[in-house]
């Protein structure tokens, strides 16, 4: 019934934005994965479908008008000037189509995990979904988002600032880096996971020059083959107790 209502309202609104005769110069076409859509050069009403793309948009100097809750939503006042006006459009795995339609977006951006609802999203507004296999690809995906959203300069500036901080950390640590190994763990209700080399945290540690224990210095390809997960693996509480005693 909810989907029927969305489709009915869209039908009443007429043609979607990419069929309204916009000049290609104002809304150039962008190919991403299996899809192609126009991305307006001036983005005023951006909707993001997940926390990662929301945070990328903020880093690029854009301010989404609607998004699913971000893991860092408590920090929004420090990140955005109009944080209190950002509309919640539901859960990351199932954004609310009616809410997205009501936001009247001029661009919808997300990850390809939302591919199943792309046909509905693209009827609401221009939609771009980015491939994102695991968190260790964050720099590549960030660059793809920046390029697609015509924010190349902001993308390069943000990545350069990140690299500068990594280099500064290495410089200040100096020889002390030679004697350090860093573990990254995540506690779940039913167990403990180790984050591996190609996780988000793992890539940051690599850039900072911090070594990992051999058991965690495993690439995404090897981890997928061994554990069925490219970025983390489960360990027993008994094994963790031994590690903390060493």
Question: Does 99 lie in the same domain as 25?
Answer: yes
Average pLDDT of the segment spanning 123-128? 94
Question: Does 60 lie in the same domain as 151?
Answer: yes
Q: Note the pTM of the prediction, 2 decimals.
A: 0.81
How many domains, the chain? 2
Question: Does 211 lie in the same domain as 144?
Answer: no
**Last residue within a domain, chosen from 159, 188, 203:** 159
Q: How confident is the model at residue 19 (pLDDT cuts 50, 70, 90)?
A: very low
Question: Does 154 lie in the same domain as 35?
Answer: yes
Question: Does 84 lie in the same domain as 186?
Answer: no
Residue 96 lies in a domain: yes
Residue 144 lies in a domain: yes
Question: Does 134 lie in the same domain as 90?
Answer: yes
pLDDT over threshold 90, residue 174 = yes
Question: Does 42 lie in the same domain as 144?
Answer: yes
Work out the percent of the chain whose per-residue pLDDT is above 90: 61
The 10s digit of each residue's pLDDT in 73-125 is: 555 555 656 566 788 898 877 899 999 999 999 999 999 889 999 999 999 99
Res 76: pLDDT: 54
Res 85: pLDDT: 77
Residue 7 lies in a domain: no
Question: Does 184 lie in the same domain as 155?
Answer: no
Residue 139 tokens, joined: 């720099």
Question: Does 203 lie in the same domain as 151?
Answer: no
Question: Does 190 lie in the same domain as 149?
Answer: no
Mean pLDDT computed over every residue of the chain: 83
pLDDT over threshold 90, residue 27 = no
Q: Give the structural domain span for 93.
A: 17-159
Average pLDDT of the segment spanning 209-221? 94
Round to whole Å and give the CA distance between 154 and 160. Answer: 10
Residue 158 tokens, joined: 């943000």
Residue 236 lies in a domain: yes
Round to whole Å and give the CA distance between 65 and 40. Answer: 16
Residue 127 lies in a domain: yes
The 10s digit of each residue's pLDDT in 35-69 is: 778 889 899 999 999 888 998 999 999 989 999 87
Question: Does 184 lie in the same domain as 64?
Answer: no
Residue 8 lies in a domain: no
Round to whole Å and give the CA distance between 58 and 49. Answer: 14
Domain of 66, CATH number, reads 3.40.50.1980
Average pLDDT of the segment spanning 152-172? 97
- Residue pair 17/125 in contact by the 8 Å Cβ criterion: yes
Q: How confident is the model at residue 216 (pLDDT cuts 50, 70, 90)?
A: very high
Residue 51 lies in a domain: yes
Round to whole Å and give the CA distance between 97 and 32. Answer: 21
Q: How confident is the model at residue 72 (pLDDT cuts 50, 70, 90)?
A: low
Residue 171 lies in a domain: no
Question: Does 241 lie in the same domain as 184?
Answer: yes
């Amino acid at each position: 019934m909810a989907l029927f209502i969305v489709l009915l309202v869209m039908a009443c609104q007429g043609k979607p934005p990419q069929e309204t005769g916009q000049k290609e110069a104002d809304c150039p076409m962008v190919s991403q994965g299996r899809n192609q859509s126009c991305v307006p050069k001036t983005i005023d009403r951006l909707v993001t479908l997940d926390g990662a793309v929301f945070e990328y948009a903020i880093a690029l100097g854009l301010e989404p008008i609607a998004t699913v809750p971000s893991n860092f939503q408590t920090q929004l006042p420090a990140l955005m000037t109009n944080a209190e006006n950002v509309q919640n459009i539901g859960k990351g795995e199932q954004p609310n189509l009616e809410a997205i339609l009501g936001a009247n977006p001029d661009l919808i951006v997300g990850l390809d995990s939302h591919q199943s609802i792309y046909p509905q999203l693209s009827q609401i507004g221009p939609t771009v979904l980015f491939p994102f296999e695991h968190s260790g690809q964050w720099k590549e995906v960030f660059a793809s988002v920046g390029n697609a959203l015509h924010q190349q300069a902001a993308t390069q500036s943000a990545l350069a600032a990140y690299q500068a901080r990594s280099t500064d950390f290495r410089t200040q640590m100096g020889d002390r880096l030679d004697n350090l190994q860093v573990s990254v763990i995540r506690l779940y209700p039913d167990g403990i996971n180790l984050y591996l080399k190609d996780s988000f945290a793992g890539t940051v540690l690599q850039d900072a020059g911090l070594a990992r224990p051999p058991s965690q210095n495993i690439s995404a390809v090897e981890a997928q083959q061994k554990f069925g997960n490219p970025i983390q693996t489960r360990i027993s509480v008994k094994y963790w107790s031994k590690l903390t005693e060493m």
